Each structure stands twice: as C-alpha cells, then as structure tokens.
Structure 1
C-alpha cells in the first residue's frame, strides 16, 4: 500500500513539476528573443531546459522510480563542432535522460508535440526542430549542424514497436542529414529492464518495479564519400543490434 502511495505521489509531483515548468518556459521563450540574438537565445534556452530535466530526474530518483547508468558520455561532452547524437528509442522519456546529460543540444521531435502547452515553451526556447514538413526539418538540421550545433535525432523516428523486436526500421532522414552536414553520428545504445513508457503504455499507468536504464555511447560513424544512404543506415542499425544483444551494452 505504501509503495503504491509512493508511486502515485511521484506521478502527481511530476505532473505539477511540468505544469509549473511548462508555464515558466512559455514565458522564457517570449523573453529570450528580446534579450538575446537568435543563436544565444537558443543556447540559453537549452541550458535552462537541461537544468529542468536534471531537476526532474532528481525528483524521480528521490522517489526511487528510475536509475540510469551513463557510459561514455564524457566523449560527447568533449566533442567539438557539429554532431548527431542518435539513441534508440524504447521509452517516452529517453530524450530527457540524454538532454539532461549533454548541454547545448537541440532535438528533432514530432511536430504534434509542439501543440502540447507543457512542451511548447521549452521546445521553442531550446530551438527544437519539428519533424514535419520533412524538407524544412532536413534543411534546419543541416544548417544547424554546419554551424557547429549538436542535434539529438532518433533514427527509429518513434518509440520502438514490440512487433519490430529490438529496433524499428531506421528512417532515411538521418542519413540525409549526416551526408549533407558532414558531421559524425554518435550512436547511443539504450537498454532497460522495464516496458514503462514504451509504445502504447499510457501515461497514467504506473510502473510495477523500479526502472533501470543504461545508456552507452558507441563509436561515431561518418557518412562515407560517395556512400549510399541505405547502406549507411544498414551499417548503423547493425551496430545497435549487436550492442543491444551484448550484456555489456
């Protein structure tokens, strides 16, 4: 009974955290363009969002909802110039864990999420890029990366579907961005002991056990000169399949 009460309290606390946080970011995304130029405003917004995500994860840790082991993330922090960080996507909160650990990074997200009042302010302030229309998304990603930006891009396009096994098919947009921006793709292998927040898991349904995550940075891949996008995606996807089957990943 007490355990159930702890989970319910954590759920309510998380909801209140993001209601107030979302309101604050709505104000922030209006204020930042007035005070800073466009690039500086995004950098400040990304730092604020990272702080908010770190606070949220501390809240979840305090309630003993989740624990996450980060492996190799110092390599991302030390990386200079543009880069694509590409995790597999088993659960809804994957982006939160990555963005809480790596500063000054934008994210490609579903365009429909920009209509969510809780998410809109933070996503706008941090310069997140909606995935539709596709041609605009590709151009924004390439321009940002050529300017030395960091981009969180989920190669599966959406959370992993159970019928697809370990991974969904990879989307072609990642290969096109990597090819035209000329930046490395850093795979991040995400493993979890729980189906919590997987595809089809409703937000109101609480986990039945403490969720453990591991996030491991793999070796970067560059799109080869005169390479083929599908061949690149196949090679990249095989890296994930191999790593996710390994106990060490």
Structure 2
C-alpha cells in the first residue's frame, strides 16, 4: 500500500505541475487581454488581476490537497490583510509563494525574475504589478517602498531564493525596503514536514509521506523596537536583518 500511495503521489505531482502551467497560460491568454481592455483606472485593473490570480491559486491548492499531495494549516491568516506592512517569510519549498498568494488577494509580491520572463506567467505578473527581483538594488527598494507608502501590502522572501541548508542566509533587501518605507514587518514562518521541493531537488523526489505545510504569522516587528535611527543606514539594515533572521529561525519571537 505504501508503494501504491507513493506511485499515486508521483503521478498526481506530475499532473499538478502541468495543471499549474495550463492555468497560468489560460490566465495570460484569456484574462490578461480582457483586463487590459477594461476602461478602468490602472489600480482597479491591477486589483482585479490579483484577485483573479488569488482565486486560481486558492483553487489550485485545494486540488493538490484533494489529490492527497499535501495538507496546509494557517495560523494568524487574518493578519496578512493589513495594509502598509512588509510581509517577510522563510522559503523552504517551491510552493511557499503559491500558498501565500492563496490568502493574500491584493498584495504586491516581489517575484523571482524568472517568473517575469516565463512565457506562461510574464503577462499576468506584469498586469498584477508584481516586482521582479532582478531590478537594480536602488530601483527595487524605491519601487517597493513606494508601494508600501501608498498603503499596499508587500510580500518578500528575504533570502532571495529557497533555503539552502538549515541556516537562513538573509539578504538586506527586505531591511532596506522596510527602512525606506518606515513600515513594520510581519514575519511568517513556513514549515514543511516531511520536506519536499527544496532547492536543487527535482519534482519527482517524492517524500515518503504526504507533506504537511504549516504557515504561522508572528507579531509585527516595529522598526523603533529593533534599530537605532541615529546609526548609519547600513548599520540599521544589518541590525534589522539579523533580528529578522533570528525571528524566522525561531530564536526569538
């Protein structure tokens, strides 16, 4: 029975990858042109694109759960709807962004640059106003900070890529954005047991049991509780990055 279950999950995983690509393609081919033609302000069209993405992704997660590929548990999900906050999370698996998109209908995501170049996703990513992470550092920080100052919720993985190993290696981009926007950070700790779809791991490496994803929203981190504003900006970013790493690593918070 264990072998049969493993074979089923292998086939269902292959199906889910194909389904995601087809769904993204349909959004790009059918939805994106229609939204662009609507005589609405850009912000309203962007919100429609994001809600459409969120509904598709939520349905996609439901399908994966129904197929027996995974289970998902959220703790503190309501806090993710706050405006003007920078949501930061660790990034253990390939599915992390999808799981967060499923519960964040109007957030600006800082996306992996490959998503903005992928023919399946580039149109809808552009229409939703997501920010690719390959922009020049200063431009990326300013664009992200401007979104936060306008009241949007911004989501970023401070590692910049999936976790490689047990120790989190955070870049300073998230700290620089929070400092530029003078906004609080909302940490989310993502755990997956048993682990699957890690960095460098092929999709067909199926874990021995169905993975369980746990996403736990922690209390807000206020800048004035962590950094000394009299210090140079570089030192402030370094201090905030270290504090954020400790929180996401479970050493405090």
TM-score (norm 2): 0.87
CA contact (8 A) 2:141 2:180 kept: no
Task: Tell me the CA shift for residue 205 of structure 1.
Answer: 3.1
Q: What is the RMSD of the two structures over their aligned residues, measured on CA atoms?
A: 2.0
CA contact (8 A) 1:25 1:125 kept: no
Structure 2: stretches of 5+ with no match in the other structure: none
Q: For 2:43, what is the secondary structure of its paired residue? A: helix
Query: 4+ residue stretches of structure 1 with deviation over 6 A?
Result: none
**For residues 78 and 55 of structure 2, what CA distance do their matches in structure 1 show?**
18
Q: Map 1:1-249; keep pairs closer than 5 Å.
A: 1-27=3-29, 28-35=31-38, 36-77=40-81, 79=82, 81-133=83-135, 134-162=137-165, 165-168=166-169, 170-224=170-224, 226=229, 228-242=236-250
Task: Tell me the CA shift for residue 192 of structure 1.
Answer: 1.4
Q: For 2:223, what is the secondary structure of its paired residue? A: coil
Task: Tell me the CA shift for residue 150 of structure 1.
Answer: 1.1
Task: Tell me the CA shift for residue 67 of structure 1.
Answer: 0.7
- 1:25-61 deviations in whole A, cap 9, x for unaligned? 2132333232132211111111011111111111111
- 1:103-159 deviations in whole A, cap 9, x for unaligned? 201211121222222222332232110012223221211111111111110111111
Task: Tell me the CA shift for residue 243 of structure 1.
Answer: 5.5
CA contact (8 A) 1:66 1:211 kept: yes
Q: For 2:220, what is the secondary structure of its paired residue? A: coil
**For residues 186 and 217 of structure 2, what CA distance do their matches in structure 1 show?**
7
CA contact (8 A) 1:189 1:243 kept: no
TM-score (norm 1): 0.89
CA contact (8 A) 1:193 1:211 kept: yes
Task: State the number of aligned residues.
Answer: 240
CA contact (8 A) 2:115 2:125 kept: no
